[in-house]
A = this chain, B = another copy of it.
Amino acid sequence: MRLAPAAAAQLKRRSVSRAAPRPAVIRSTAEFARYVGLSRSAVSRVMNEQPGLRQATIDRVRRAIAETGFTPNAHAVHLRGKPSKMIGLCVENLLTPSGVAKLSELQELLAARGFTVLIEVDRADGSRKLIEHFLSLRVQGVVFVGHFNPELLGERIAGLRRHGVPHLVVDHSGCANAPTVTLDRGAAMEEVVAHLHGDGHRRFGLMGISGAFQTVADRLDGVRAALRKRGLAFDRCVVALDHLHVRTDHFEFGRLLAREFASRRDRPTAFIAVNDETAIGALLEFQSRGLRVPGDLSIVGFNNQTICQMTTPALTSVDQQIERTARMATDLLIGAIDRPLPRLPAMRLIAPQLVVRGSTGPAQRRRARG
């Protein structure tokens, strides 16, 4: 027999104000209220720290929480009107150390502001599903960290825009339709060249800075600008031998390039690598061939990872300022919540920092004229 609604409500009401013995696990405010001997409203008000409650009531509820470990169902809370307090984080992969470092910082900063971070890895298959998943959980914002297929990324951004979900791209420079926070790679290269030039270097070897990526173009622009500023011609000062080898493992690639450069008569005195791994591969290879670093040649990495400390001398590298990047990303994203999406997405550049270590030093006299 089904009870008429009114009768069912009666039944419920009757049992409300009788304290029950502690059940195994309490799963709802209703159960919990019965346990404390108060109404669900009273319990809810205590949990949300609303004013106008008797101290005795507050204590009673608090004690019961401590006893039972009751936690309100976040999904129900959200459904009732509270924001989901979730942020979607889409990462290129979880294997790139600098990407993971950014994720780590972002997670920490967002958690500190009460957000739960949902991490999704950009896997080949789930192109559309990824955004749907975030949307179904009613995330309040989405951050993309890393380098993505531009077309796919654009599609996802469009989906988020359509649904009015704030979003932000970190590091994938050259995404026109999304607000972006990215390292100023041009400035990084300018700093590197300035440092090496200051040490008397006039011939530069580029390692792994090639390919059809926006980030590569940005870096080359930086090198070009820095040289122009010093009255040097890019074509005459810069040598790259990337085309001679297939890039598989970074270390190995650096090693192979170093082998090529080592035997050249017109070997540059300074090398700028696409990342720390390539730089270290090259450095170790140069050293094993009897070349001294920085006596015979200087070498600079990129990302300033812990492995920079591994070699002797330690590797000069460019720090991405991950903490500052994450902070800016967090502030921008959270600032965009509950605000209309901006018409023109802005691009914020993060200033890199060159960390000078032992792998760079004054150019040798006899090579200074190149």
Contacts and interface: CB of A to CB of B under 8 A. Distances in A.
A309 B24 CA distance: 54
Question: How often does this chain occur in the complex, in copies?
Answer: 2
A244 interface: no
A76 interface: yes
B73 A138 contact: yes
B164 A25 contact: yes
Contact of A116 (B78, B104, B133, B307): B133
Nearest to A162: B69
A249 B309 contact: yes
A241 interface: no
Contacts of A284: 284, 310-312
Contacts of A93: 104
Interface string A86-105: 00000001110100110110
A276 B121 CA distance: 27
Nearest to A103: B94
Contact of A71 (B135, B251, B310): B135
A95 B94 CA distance: 11
A69 B136 contact: no
Given A94-B103, A100-B100, A25 B162 contact: yes
A74 B285 CA distance: 54
A288 interface: yes
Interface residues of A, number: 57
Contact of A111 (B116, B120, B255): B120
A363 to B, nearest CB: 24
Nearest to A119: B119
Contact of A79 (B76, B118, B281): B76
A252 interface: yes
A104 B94 contact: yes
A120 to B, nearest CB: 7
18 contacts: A25-B163, A25-B164, A71-B132, A71-B136, A74-B137, A75-B75, A94-B100, A94-B103, A94-B104, A107-B119, A116-B118, A116-B133, A251-B306, A255-B312, A281-B310, A284-B310, A284-B311, A285-B312
Interface of A: 24-25, 69, 71-76, 78-79, 84, 93-95, 97, 100-101, 103-104, 107-108, 111, 116-121, 123, 126, 132-133, 135-138, 159, 162-164, 249, 251-252, 255, 277, 280-281, 284-285, 288, 306-307, 309-312
